[in-house]
Homo-oligomer: A and B are copies of this chain.
Amino acid sequence: MATARSTIYEVASRSGVSTATVSRAMQGEDGMSAKTRDRVLAAANELAWVPDGRARGLATRRAGIVGILFHDLDASGEAEEESPLYLDEVIRGAERAATAGGDALLIAATRGRSGRELAFSVSGKVDGLVVLARSVSKPDIAALSRTLPIVTVAIRSRSNPFDDISVDIRGAMRGLVEHLIVVHGYRDLIFIGGPARSPDSMERFAGYRDALRTHQLPVPSSPYADGGFTEAGGARAVRALLTERIPEVIVCGNDEMAIGALGVLRTAKLAVPGDVAVTGFDDIASARHVRPTLTTVHQPMRDVGEQAVRMLLDRIVHPDAKRRAALLPTEPRIRRSCGCAVRTTPHRSSSTSTRATPAGRRLS
């Protein structure tokens, strides 16, 4: 149990060489006699020695660690807001890319007001940082960038000077709504939005408007209601809606609200999609399991994580390359709730480069 790390010096003396040689052996340099290398490696093994990452980092100016900063709503007790599940996908993707690049991934959640402090403490430990939207304030990001390469996720404002990876939310919602209009011929749609001031929420609504405009339908200036991105909020909004009228389709800003809507409609004895169609957004796991199965849009969150880290790794190597920004495409998941009669869809052939996430792999 007593943990006494051994050092390169012990390994050196035990194998009768200098520390330089030990170092070279550990890095698999060439220009060494195989015999010497084996002796060194054997000694290292016997002593259970692993080069100290801190010392190595100090000497090479490279920690071999990249960080990702996100905002953990759930833990801050900040709101009733659902902890965003997609975060996990992003993190997994980031981990994968980091490991593939030979680095390790440091994760840190800002909560409430403590973001600033956290960010700076983390910044001393990593070679670069992926910063998710809403985790750190713009000025703080700017300050961090004075010491570190930064890649942002989902910060698409034109003024964002950093490399960025985002998902084409607006285009995705537009595509989904066009499906409703073109394929199903719906003309009477209602949009239930998320928190009014959330940029993400606004994007979704903008895509909705895009589609209506394109097809010469009346374009509302604001969502019918703010369902707060929660199941309960969605239910509430639909309950209110039903006291007024019954539209052809209820387009929801996310899956949670759509699921809430389905619940209310069932209670009201309205058939989905027979009497009303419903769509969601995000493709959470439950979307496949509610009845009817929910038509929605899948966001490639794992790809977001992967690409963000890959971009960061790149930026670390080429600090002066010109800024890059990527807009990742989404995948519609057409199921039953929009009115499509989906036969048991065969597994998609795995030929595309976009990897399916577990949630989407099997269709209901």
- Chain A positions within 8 Å of B, measured between CB atoms, are 1-3, 5, 48-58, 63-65, 67, 72, 74-75, 82-83, 85, 88, 91-92, 95-96, 99, 102, 104-109, 111, 118, 120-126, 143, 145-149, 231-232, 259, 284-286, 288-291, 319-320, 358, 362
Contacts and interface: CB of A to CB of B under 8 A. Distances in A.
A51 B125 CA distance: 9
A82 B96 CA distance: 17
Given A125-B104, A232-B362, A289-B286, A120 B54 contact: no
B53 A63 contact: yes
A108 B118 contact: no
A50 B3 contact: no
Nearest to A80: B361
Nearest to A52: B124
B105 A143 contact: no
A219 B53 CA distance: 53
Given A74-B358, A95-B109, A125 B63 contact: yes
Contact of A88 (B64, B88, B126): B88
Copies of this chain, tallied across the complex = 2
Counting chain B CB atoms within 10 Å of each CB, which of A49, A58, A67 scores highest? Answer: A58
A311 B85 CA distance: 27
Contacts of A63: 53-54, 125
11 contacts: A2-B319, A48-B146, A50-B147, A53-B126, A58-B58, A91-B91, A96-B109, A105-B107, A231-B362, A285-B286, A289-B290
A85 B358 CA distance: 10
Contacts of A106: 65, 104-107
Contact of A288 (B50, B148, B286, B362): B286
Given A88-B88, A95-B108, A122-B104, A147 B319 contact: no
B147 A48 contact: yes
A108 B105 contact: yes
Given A53-B124, A56-B124, 12 more contacts: A3-B146, A51-B124, A52-B124, A53-B63, A58-B58, A74-B358, A82-B358, A85-B285, A99-B118, A105-B108, A285-B286, A289-B289
